[in-house]
Amino acid sequence: MDLLNHIALGAQILFTPINLFFCFIGVLMGTLVGVLPGLGPTAAIALLLPNTFHVSPVSAIIMLAGIYYGAMYGGSTTSILVNIPGEAASVITTLDGYQMALKGRAGPALGIAAFGSFIAGTISVIGLMLVAPPLAKFALAFGPPEYFSLMLMGIVVLIYLASGSILKALMMAVFGLLLGTIGMDAISGTQRLTFGLLELSDGVGLIPAIMGLFGVAEVIHNVEEAIRREVVTSKVKNLLPNLQDWRDSFWPIIRGSVLGFFIGILPGPAPVISAFSSYAIEKKLSKHPEKFGTGVIEGVAGPEAANNAATGGAFIPLFTLGIPSNSVIAILLGAFMIHGIQPGPMLISKHADLFWGTIMSMYLGNAMLLILNLPLIGLWVKVLKVPYPILFPLILLFCLVGVFSLNYSQVEVALMIGFGVFGYLARKFQFEMAPLVLALVIGPMMENNLRLSLIISQGSPWIFIEHPISATFIFISLALLISPWIPWIGRRRKKLQEKVEGEQI
């Protein structure tokens, strides 16, 4: 009955005109950035964050969450019609989706992608609703040593899952931690590495960093050469998949949802990984694996369901532990802090309105998306036809204004441009951005917990091993770091890497 009460509370918060409006804006923006290649949900959320300062935290989180799962819907449209992934999680959809479009079955492909996303989104919200509160209760037992070890494990898992070299990912993470130490020392109050700049005493801003790394760097990368896009314009009709399509894709959708949800909980670019794994599983289970890649509907339904379910799963560590699992969630965490909400295991009980309001908005948002994406598909096809030469100055403009309006500081804009240069070059040498961003966000939290633990133990580092939960986390991290040297695990990881080849997060 408790659950019903909470649902009622959530609905009460959601069904106010202002929150409905923000939910709608969120999913609309999400679809838009999903459709547009070269602008992902990370950059979009970072762009809109400064503009949410004068609304209530619930509305802000509802909108920002909407962008995240909305982008998963939009991304499939571009993948299917243009053969360019609208965002990273839809890469795999291009394989079969575009082939279906070439065969004149763009309609059912788009339809099953939207329905699959809807079903998966709903399943993962239910999962989130059921799993998060008990987990948060469990997490109440965590002290500083446990938090430190958990965050360490989070970073290590992300490094381990890096699509390129582990060493490079490790370097990015360490660089991120280093950037995280800039600013005022939280315990003794000394200024570190600020070079006398007042703007740096709060640390390197997350928003300038993300806008630079994801927004600016991405645009600059696209500016290198003129992309030609060929939209499949043969009329998109028959959006409703027929009975046979449903029969083929029902189980892939369910499997994709469950898989996506659990992968979502793990740190890392969950939507991307879950879409890839779902595709691999469907191919293995299929009676006709040789047909994958020629336009089979299971190859669209499974991954699309998985990437949507992963967004729901990704909220779990945020709501229960206050630890981000990927860069989008990291910005949401930043949003919590800006709005004065302390993330952590107390969040669900202390800010019940926020948690349940957001959950309810995710139900409704998924329904809104279904409407936005099926009858209005023509609109998104038109958006796709806006030529890039006109689009990219506007994206850059949004980045500039977004960062400037944070603190009206030119130093931060310069910082963003600097991160843009860095991100552009790093991308050239196949470094990944995700470990850097995650480390930048949780670096200061890790440091605080490390120092608190050491104060508790009076300087003895053994405290991390003496606490059983913490010891488990440390052990897992160590095992992950060592495992690439063990030949057969290393080989398997290589294989996984080859599958994810060419992936840009």
Shortest Cβ 179–other proteins spacing (Å): 10
Closer to other proteins at the Cβ: 170 or 184?
A: 170
Shortest Cβ 181–other proteins spacing (Å): 8
Q: Where on the chain is the footprint of other proteins (CB under 8 A)?
A: 50-51, 54, 165, 167-168, 170-171, 174-175, 177-178, 216, 219-220, 223-226, 388-390, 392-394, 396-397, 400-401, 404-405, 408, 410, 413-414, 417, 420-421, 424, 428
The amino acid sitting at 91 is V
Cβ atoms within 10 A of the Cβ of 357, count? 27
Angstrom distance (rounded) from CA 124 to CA 488: 33
Closer to other proteins at the Cβ: 425 or 456?
A: 425
Closer to other proteins at the Cβ: 352 or 400?
A: 400
Shortest Cβ 295–other proteins spacing (Å): 29
Closer to other proteins at the Cβ: 143 or 418?
A: 418
Closer to other proteins at the Cβ: 228 or 237?
A: 228
Angstrom distance (rounded) from CA 70 to CA 95: 21
Closer to other proteins at the Cβ: 301 or 437?
A: 437
Per the CB < 8 A criterion, the answer to whether 94 and 343 are in contact is: no
> Which residues are registered as beta bridge partners of 274?
none
Shortest Cβ 341–other proteins spacing (Å): 22
Angstrom distance (rounded) from CA 121 to CA 261: 9
Helices (H) and strands (E) in the chain, counts: 23, 2
Shortest Cβ 25–other proteins spacing (Å): 12
Q: Which two structure tokens, joined as six digits, stand for 286? A: 């299929």
Shortest Cβ 414–other proteins spacing (Å): 6
Angstrom distance (rounded) from CA 384 to CA 229: 9
Strands 183-184, 191-192: pairing kind? antiparallel
Closer to other proteins at the Cβ: 208 or 299?
A: 208
CA angle, 55 as apex, 50 and 440 as ends, to 5°?
35
Report CA-CA distances (Å) from 298 to 109, 157, 162, 257.
Answer: 10, 29, 27, 13
CA angle, 111 as apex, 358 and 287 as ends, to 5°?
110
Shortest Cβ 210–other proteins spacing (Å): 16
> Which residues are registered as beta bridge partners of 184?
191
Shortest Cβ 478–other proteins spacing (Å): 17
Q: Residue 53: which region, alpha, beta or left (left: phi > 0; alpha: psi -120 to 50)?
A: alpha
Report CA-CA distances (Å) from 457 to 61, 141, 142, 145.
Answer: 37, 17, 15, 10
* Interacting residues of 77 by C-beta distance below 8 A, sequence separation 6+: 34, 35, 86, 110, 113, 373, 377, 380, 381, 384
Shortest Cβ 222–other proteins spacing (Å): 10
Closer to other proteins at the Cβ: 265 or 450?
A: 450
Closer to other proteins at the Cβ: 168 or 493?
A: 168
How many angstroms from the chain centroid is the CA of residue 474? 25
Shortest Cβ 138–other proteins spacing (Å): 32
Angstrom distance (rounded) from CA 475 to CA 190: 33
Closer to other proteins at the Cβ: 11 or 401?
A: 401
**C-alpha closest to that of 315 among 275, 342, 337, 348:** 348
